[in-house]
A and B are shown apart, each in its own frame.
Chain A
Amino acid sequence: DSGVTQTPKHLITATGQRVTLRCSPRSGDLSVYWYQQSLDQGLQFLIQYYNGEERAKGNILERFSAQQFPDLHSELNLSSLELGDSALYFCASSVAKGGGNYNEQFFGPGTRLTVL
């Protein structure tokens, strides 16, 4: 158990709908990352938040958005869903102390999204 929790574990929805995925980081971790794992794109970085602010952006579609709340949990919002959005969405967290030291990212178990 990494200490990172994600809800829900599974989500089945229809095209055109909107869903929200939730991530609670490990206690004390300030940084949250979202990754998408799909059959055609592999594992790719979507977005990173640090202490409530967006830190880095990857291959995240405009239909997707995220935020990190004052209690440090994060939500990934996916709208106007398409069949191709079906994937496993991982959240990871890290202390992100900076100072040139790399701190390990701990991954949650993921949310499997199926768009029908």
Chain B
Amino acid sequence: AQSVTQPDIHITVSEGASLELRCNYSYGATPYLFWYVQSPGQGLQLLLKYFSGDTLVQGIKGFEAEFKRSQSSFNLRKPSVHWSDAAEYFCAVAAPSNFGNEKLTFGTGTRLTIIP
């Protein structure tokens, strides 16, 4: 069974500074990888996804993530954060299958606080 580890429970970053959120996964092969964002009182919004190919993927809101097979990691980055980026971020994996729509397994989340 697949699992996801987000080692940072809470990160505080100054507005305009760069951001990196860590994600490590455990799975026998390369899973499908995702980052979701959850703003207070809101549902989950997909930031970006990795299925195969180029290991650097671009997402919405200026986010990007890099898949590193050797480290079983899929870290999320943003060069310059905005106050509106304050939210909870979840890394998730899904096991590829012929059906193509398997369940998502989520990490525990990283809460991002932005200070002026």
List of B residues within 8 angstroms of A94 by Cβ: 101
The stretch from B22-30, B76-84, B90-98 touching chain A is B90-98
List of B residues within 8 angstroms of A99 by Cβ: 98, 100
- A110, B108: Cβ atoms closer than 8 Å: no
Q: Given A42-B109, A102-B96, A104-B49, do A90 and B44 touch, yes or no (CB 8 Å)?
A: yes
Number of interface residues of B (CB under 8 A): 26
- A98, B101: Cβ atoms closer than 8 Å: yes
CB distance from A50 to the nearest CB of B (A): 8
The majority secondary structure among interface residues of chain A is strand
Contact of A102 among B44, B101, B107, B109 (CB under 8 A): B101
Q: Which residues of B are at the interface with A, using a C-beta cutoff of 8 A? A: 32, 36, 41-46, 49, 51, 90, 94, 96-109
